[in-house]
Amino acid sequence: MTRVKICGLTRAMDAEFAIQEGADALGFIFERSSPRFVGDGELLWVSALPPIPVKVAVFGRVDRPVPRSLFDVIQGVEWDVFPEPSPKRIHVIRPKPGQSAQDVMQTMIHATAVMLDAYSPDAFGGTGHRIDVQLAKQIVKESKIPVILAGGLTPENVGDIVREVRPFAVDASSGLEERPGVKDLVKVRDFIQAARQA
């Protein structure tokens, strides 16, 4: 069964709803350039969430530690300046046009899982752009670590994409929103159900 991560959460009510609907992981954005940035000192509501599901601190460039008591996994695109080792890493790879599965596999760092997201020169993620499904399918087939699929996933398309690609997990943020950082709860529920049933 494909797991589901709901990302870009900025409100307790949205996180609690995602938990209620069965999300496997919750993502909280620490990338300061993102409109979904949760802030470094506004985490009291995160600490009040139950210990399950997994909580992921999400960066573009991983440049500072986060409270280990709150977050289980660190996710990032760039890791070159990360100040301390992390036992659980999700390495985000955003294949550029023309890259092959072999090209992508060679860029993987030591990580617990890899996330495939659509490339954009303007943002690290959350753009709503679609990943190349055929490339993702090939990477899933060849990867030795779990592959999480992101990039333009919505309640309407996630079922078909899961059936075709069979990733370990899917991740959605902008495709489940009323506006940046504010989730549409119907879309969250429908997304989780569609991914589970695929």
Which H or E element spans position 15?
A: helix 12-20
The CA distance from 130 to 105, in Å, is: 19
Band (28; pLDDT cuts 50, 70, 90): very high
For the stretch 141-153, pLDDT in tens is 999 899 999 989 9
pLDDT at 67: 84
For the stretch 79-94, pLDDT in tens is 877 766 666 899 999 8
Which H or E element spans position 185?
A: helix 185-197
For the stretch 152-182, pLDDT in tens is 999 999 999 999 999 999 999 999 999 999 9
CA distances from 179 to 8, 129, 130 (A): 11, 16, 19
CA atoms within 13 A on the CB side of 147: 24
pLDDT at 95: 85
* pTM of this structure: 0.92
Superfamily of the domain at 3-197: Aldolase class I (3.20.20.70)
Band (101; pLDDT cuts 50, 70, 90): confident
CA proximity to 145, closest of 90, 99, 183: 90
One-letter amino acid identity for 169?
A
For the stretch 39-79, pLDDT in tens is 776 688 999 999 999 999 999 988 888 888 889 999 999 88
Per-residue pLDDT for 23 more than 80?
yes
